[in-house]
Structures are given as C-alpha cells and as structure tokens.
Structure 1
C-alpha cells in the first residue's frame, strides 16, 4: 500500500439468515478500533435496511446495496435454498460491481476484502485487487473442519453412505464422538450437486488459502479442531461468540413484549425458554407434543412462537397455562438467557443459539433441523455434555417430559448444569483483556487495517 493510501476495507455479506449481522458485528467492532479506516459493507436492499435502518451509514462504515440476483417478477416457491442458488449464480459479478461503486464514491482503492466464509469467490476478487482476503466463518471450528475434510469423508463412506450412518469418524481430529449420520446432506448426499452443496464444498477448499480466517468460536471451546486446522490454514482466529462482540442494541431491555419483567416474577432456574431461531419451526404434531409436555410438567415457560403457528397448539393450551406461561412473537434472546430465572433452553441447536446458551450458562434440550445442527448437537450431548437431544430427533410428549425432569430434578441434570457453567467461565475469560478472543480480534484488526 502506498504511503498516501488510506485503508479501505470491503466487507461482503452472505445475505441470508443471520449471516449479514455476523459480518457487520465484526466490522462494527473493527471500525471502533480503527476509526481512520473506511469500511464499505455490501449486502442486499432487505439486509441493508434491516441492519442500518433508513440511513446506511454508521461512523466510518457505509452500507452499499447490491442485487439479490433474483429474476424480475420472481415468485418464491417455498424452497429456502432457491433464492440462495439464484444469488450465487451471479454473486461474484454483483460484488465486483458494488466494489466499483464504493471505490468511485470514496476515491479510495480497496486494501482488504473481508467476507462471509461462504463466499469463496471473494478470495478471487481479493486476488484480482492484489489485497488480502479474510473470510469470517459464522459457525464453529467443528463445522469448518467438516467442510475442509468433505472429500476425505466422501471417499471413505461413499455418497450417500448407505448403511454406514452409524460409523464413527475416528480419522479426523476432534470428531471421535461423531457419526457419519451427523453430517448434513450437502456433505454426504444424496444431493451434492445443488448450488448450496457446491458452494460449501468449494468453500472448504478455498478458505485454507485466505490470509486469515476469523471463526465464530473461542479457543477453549473447540481446541482439538483448532489445533488441527491451525496446521492446515494460514491463520485461524477464533473471535467469538460474534453475537457478544458488539454492545447490546439500544432497544429497551424489556423489549416490546414485556417478557423480562415477566421473568422477574419467577424463581431462579425454573423457567423453560423455548425458541427455534428465525427459520426453524417444528411440525404441527411436535409443537403439540411440546406444549402438552410443558403443560403436564407444570414448568413455567417463555415460548417464542410465530402468530401463525399458534393454531397448532392444543385447544385451550394458552388459557390453561396463562398464569405460568408466556408466548411471544419475539424476544431479546441474550437478555432472556442471561436472566437468572431461566433453567433450560429448548432449541433447534443452531450455532449462535448454542453459543448464547453456553455464554449464559443454560442447559439445552435440542431438536436439530438442518445443516450442521446435528453435528453441533453431537458436541452438545456427547462431547461437552451440556444438553439432551430429542429422542430420534423429534419431539414427543414423553421424551420432553423426561428431559425436563432430568434437567430440573435429577443428578445428571445437575452435572449438565455444572458442565455448561464451566464452559461459560471459559467464554467469559476469552473476552478478558488478555483472553484468547480479545487477542485474536486485535490480530484480526491489525491484518485488515494495515494492508
């Protein structure tokens, strides 16, 4: 970089689910540490509006709207992977055009490309620009390892691995408790030719070439995976959990639903918090089974449930449980999990939710849905021993009743709580001034701003 060139960091978001917010969390934190650096953040109009509001600027960060890649008059078919596939078809050129706009507007050449880890082609764009590429992996080291070793997994077990679903993964560091069936279909098939599967496969091949990879984890949580990948990648920097990087938003602590005040009226570690993230929802029969179990167990509960899904609850359930239960369309999840009344988190086992449960010291009851949920669940139940999986991966009334009883009343539940509290302490230490996350983040800022 020339002496007169001020750093200009381009940040590419994968504009789906919680991914844009994850990248922006990192950029916001980095922008505070490097106030003289220009940060240009690229995502779709919907994403930019959600993250920035009416004015896409925050200090030295500016949001730039890029195309979503959808054809004119596109009608959503209901397949959540379809918009992803359409976006990916032209994503590289979409981001190139966005960069041209930002460079022209700021009169500053790009000096570093930061991207969501899914956007493997960002490495090619960085190479064209002659600058470093630093992808941000929004999931954990275990998931990254799975995609790095995809070819080896397929070679050993076949695609699909018929009859080998229960085989142990004893040849990949950190995966001795994993089984082949824990891997998602984009890794083991049968549908490995979809746009999403091909993206993940290419990502596993390209990320080792990046200048550094920032990962949504902390050193002490997945140390066997970290030790292995450090020998395979140029630089691995666990800087998570990413949802704890930036200070809380300015939303009222209680939120629009009043759920925090409601939790205040309950005793310590007595309430079940139920939430399945933005996109996952159990099928109607499982929603009913979950409701019946919560009701019959007399467990106080706070349940995040879309209005349209309430129709699947048992008749009269909301009235019968109104004095000890609260159903809301949204909650400030971290604030909820931090509340001393929360005794268990019933979840889909998405990575962010698991990390938030760990950082708040809350045991888990989980039902995996898609992607790396089952792999993460294996860590939760068999490696860290901080939660219980729904038997067979589905909710039944008896299974949920047994899980609640175990967490709240059995010695095994006490041990699970101790285990998650120990991980919580490691997570807190990672954010201390001399902690691993703090050190890794400082290294990341130095890399992306001193190019």
Structure 2
C-alpha cells in the first residue's frame, strides 16, 4: 500500500452509507491505497455486515454516550454527545490506524460537517476533502450564512415576522427566497445549538478544503455550481450516487420486495399512483396523517404508502380495512423506493424533501409533492417548486384535506411544461454518470486529489 486515506463519517441519518459508498468507489479506483473508515460502532455494524473490501479498514470510535447515561428526549441529544468528543476520538483513531498500517495518513476524506479536519490537515500538510452529502443549494446557504444573517438581522434575534417574505439576492445564484425556506440553523431555529454552531463553522471553513465533492450533478444547479466553483477549491458534483451503480451494471439493481409492492403496482394504471414516504426518520404528526389519509380515500387516489407500523394506530378508524377491500391503496412498513419510483404506475412522490429522495425522484422522472420538516428539506422543496418546476410544496406547510386534494389535482393535471422539465432533468442526471459525463469527469479529478496524482496548489 502506498497511500493511507482517513475517512471520517458523521454517524447519523444517511451520512455513513453515502460516505462509505464514496469510499468504496475511491478504493476500487485506487487499489494500492488503504482507506481507514472511522464511525461509531452501532453504525459500522450495519455498514460492514456484508462488506468485503481488502483496502477498506473499519475503525470504531466512541459515540460519546456514557455507560450510565439516561436519555431525556432533548432535540439531537445523541448528536450533541457525539459532537462533544468527535475531534478527540478521530484524532486518537488516526494514531491507531497509522500504527496498524505503518503508514502516515496522506489525505483526509471527511463529512463536510467536521470543519476541525482543516486544522488536522494543516498540521500535517496533507489534502482535506470535505464531502457534502446533500445539494448545492443547501451548501450555498451555509456558505453564505453570515451574509444571510446580516440581511435577515431581525429574524436572527428570534423573531418570525417576515420569515415568509421573499428576499432577492439572499443566496448568490438563486432566485428570491424566503428565510423560512432556508435550512434550519441559518436564520431560524436554535442558532446556539451544537449542531447549528457546527454548520456555521463549516460554512466559514470550507474555502480551506482541497476539494468539496457533493452528491449531485452540475446540470441540476448550473448557476449555483458556477458561484460555488468561484468560492471553493475543486467544487465537484459527483452524483447522483444511486444512478452510478446502475450505469456500471447497465441493469437495475434488484432489491428485496418483502411486502409485494411491485406486484401491487403491476396491477395499477400508468402514472396513476401516489407513492408516499417520508424517510426512516420523519413522520407527520397524527392529525396530519388523518388529513392525508382522508384526502386519499375521498379523492379515490390509488396510493402506496411506506410508513413505520407504529404510526398505523393514527389512521382513521377502518382506513386500513377499507383500502384493502377496495384495492385503492396499500400501506407497508418498507418499500424498495428506487424500484417503486421507476415503476410505470407511479405518477407522483409525496415526500419530506430529503436530498436522497429528491435525487431518486429526479432520476426516475417523477414529480413531487413536498412536506418538509427540518434541515435542508425546506430549501430542497423550494427548489422543487420554484426553481426546477417539477412539483409543489403542500399549501400552508401541513397536510390538510383541502391542501392535499389541491396538490394531487395539480400534479395529476398532466402539465406539459412540468413533465418536459422533469424528463429533461432525468436525462441530464443519467448522462452525468455515464463515461465522460460531467459527474464521471469530476470523480476522476477527485481521485487525483485523494491519491496525490493531481498537483494541489492549496495544500497547507
């Protein structure tokens, strides 16, 4: 082995899986390099259960939770405990990995959240690659947080009046946007929480990174990409990740369909079904579940709904029994989302607007109805509606029968302009990951940075 790359993952949500995906791609391209992958034990156990890769080494770090700790239900409680020990634990882990391999770390590939990696890289004069797991629009909001806060000064102090008023030039490269559509922690929310402080520090530090790859494709946000490329070193769109494996195999990845979602869709009319899923973390409050369920039933909209089983108790009385008898709907605890979205029967995706879901919907050419909750979901949903024109946000921000029925009527109206837009973006997404496509070319640049094949001007 001639190179030693240390990989730091933020161990929550979809971050570990995405960074391991990137690590595997890099490891396959650089077989003579060794990659030390640092993560908390619980997350690593899931990631490495069926992984076999000779040049990726697993390292577990502490999650910061004391043995006798009792959770009290505070927001991001586990995340805050981890952040308190993250830098110390990762520095310690690097020393162990260097002793194990006999190689000094030659590059840091880390979740962009970890701005302390800039100091670690400077201390040893090595490249620092900061991987952003989401889109260019949300990254731009964090990069320009200080400028945004200056323009929205009254809101920063805890006010909410004016948060729904559009402001021009709030984010360079984007159309006028409402402060309420910005990611949590930029101007609204608890700006003094450890998570918000981490994001703010990230935004002020990213210009020091040797490269900033993101899970997107540059044709999706050309104006934002151009602006970020002028502010960051080697700003590289290298996604969508979920399409890359398909391009390599030239065949769809077949996933388990334990709950017969695909066979149910096979019996539905083309572009008639609403697929509903809010990810594995988020669920609308009980009263919204009732409103959404009643709107589906009263409008007779065929639907496939993936939701955790403990939420079934919140559905209207007899709802599950009635849809089963009528055959108009199917509720499951899990669905093979990419396969579902690419099924000819699916006509709309009702989603929380998480970045992975947005990319999967774009890659499948399916319009969206967005109900965002936190984080980048708000700005992603705004982009879906206002910038890309490939869907809509639920009116008022919450599910009501009226807003839901209006959203379905709008999406199923077969808008020629909207359908042309999403088909065009779908084609661009697929082309980006083909050989010599924009994302493929950007990934080659990233490999050069990580392996040292590219002359780097901003290594400390």
Q: Under a length normalisation based on structure 2, what TM-score does the superposition of the two structures give?
A: 0.92
**C-alpha distance in 1, partners of 2:451/2:374?**
36
Q: Is the 8 A contact 1:207 1:233 kept in 2?
A: yes
Q: Is the 8 A contact 2:180 2:188 kept in 1?
A: no
User: What does residue 123 of structure 1 align with?
Assistant: 118
For each residue in 1:406-429, what CA deviation from the matched residue of structure 2 results, as whole angstroms up to 9, or x when unmatched? 212x253x4322221111011011
Q: 5 Å matches for 1:190-201?
A: 190-201=189-200
User: What does residue 397 of structure 2 align with?
Assistant: 393
Deviation, 1:254, is 4.0
Deviation, 1:85, is 1.2
Deviation, 1:303, is 0.6
Q: Is the 8 A contact 2:175 2:387 kept in 1?
A: no
1:114 is paired with a residue of what secondary structure? strand
**C-alpha distance in 2, partners of 1:328/1:295?**
17
Q: 5 Å matches for 1:271-290?
A: 271-290=273-292
Q: Is the 8 A contact 2:148 2:170 kept in 1?
A: no
User: What does residue 436 of structure 1 align with?
Assistant: 438
More deviation, 338-347/397-406: 397-406
Q: Of 4, 8, 21, which aligns to 2:4?
A: 8
Deviation, 1:127, is 2.1
1:72 is paired with a residue of what secondary structure? coil
More deviation, 441-450/281-290: 441-450
1:263 to 2:265 alignment: yes
**C-alpha distance in 1, partners of 2:358/2:243?**
13
Q: Is the 8 A contact 2:145 2:186 kept in 1?
A: yes
Q: 5 Å matches for 1:148-159?
A: 148-158=143-153, 159=156
Q: Is the 8 A contact 1:48 1:56 kept in 2?
A: no
Change over 3 Å in CA distance of 1:172–1:366 after alignment to 2 = closer
For each residue in 1:28-86, what CA deviation from the matched residue of structure 2 results, as whole angstroms up to 9, or x when unmatched? 11111112211111101111011111x76523212211110112222222334111111
Gap regions ≥5 residues in structure 2: 454-460
Q: Is the 8 A contact 1:112 1:131 kept in 2?
A: yes
Q: 5 Å matches for 1:202-281?
A: 202-246=201-245, 253-281=255-283
More deviation, 169-178/211-220: 169-178
1:47 to 2:43 alignment: yes
Q: Is the 8 A contact 1:380 1:387 kept in 2?
A: yes
Q: 5 Å matches for 1:358-397?
A: 358-397=362-401
1:352 is paired with a residue of what secondary structure? helix
More deviation, 111-120/160-169: 160-169
Q: Is the 8 A contact 2:207 2:232 kept in 1?
A: yes
1:24 to 2:20 alignment: yes
1:142 to 2:137 alignment: yes
Aligned residues: 444
**C-alpha distance in 1, partners of 2:211/2:150?**
28
2:99 is paired with a residue of what secondary structure? helix
Q: Is the 8 A contact 2:390 2:418 kept in 1?
A: yes
Q: Under a length normalisation based on structure 1, what TM-score does the superposition of the two structures give?
A: 0.94
User: What does residue 349 of structure 1 align with?
Assistant: 353
2:392 is paired with a residue of what secondary structure? strand
For each residue in 1:144-164, what CA deviation from the matched residue of structure 2 results, as whole angstroms up to 9, or x when unmatched? 110111111111211145533
Q: 5 Å matches for 1:54-203?
A: 57-158=52-153, 159-160=156-157, 162-165=160-163, 166-203=165-202
User: What does residue 33 of structure 2 align with?
Assistant: 37
Q: Is the 8 A contact 2:98 2:105 kept in 1?
A: yes
**C-alpha distance in 1, partners of 2:72/2:44?**
24
Change over 3 Å in CA distance of 1:70–1:254 after alignment to 2 = closer
Deviation, 1:106, is 1.5
Q: Is the 8 A contact 1:177 1:382 kept in 2?
A: no
Q: 5 Å matches for 1:307-322?
A: 307-322=309-324
For each residue in 1:335-375, what CA deviation from the matched residue of structure 2 results, as whole angstroms up to 9, or x when unmatched? 11111111100000111111110011000011010112111
Deviation, 1:255, is 2.2
2:210 is paired with a residue of what secondary structure? coil
Deviation, 1:232, is 0.8
Aligned-pair RMSD on alpha carbons?
Answer: 1.9
User: What does residue 458 of structure 2 align with?
Assistant: none
Change over 3 Å in CA distance of 1:155–1:351 after alignment to 2 = same
**C-alpha distance in 1, partners of 2:51/2:60?**
9
**C-alpha distance in 1, partners of 2:337/2:55?**
28
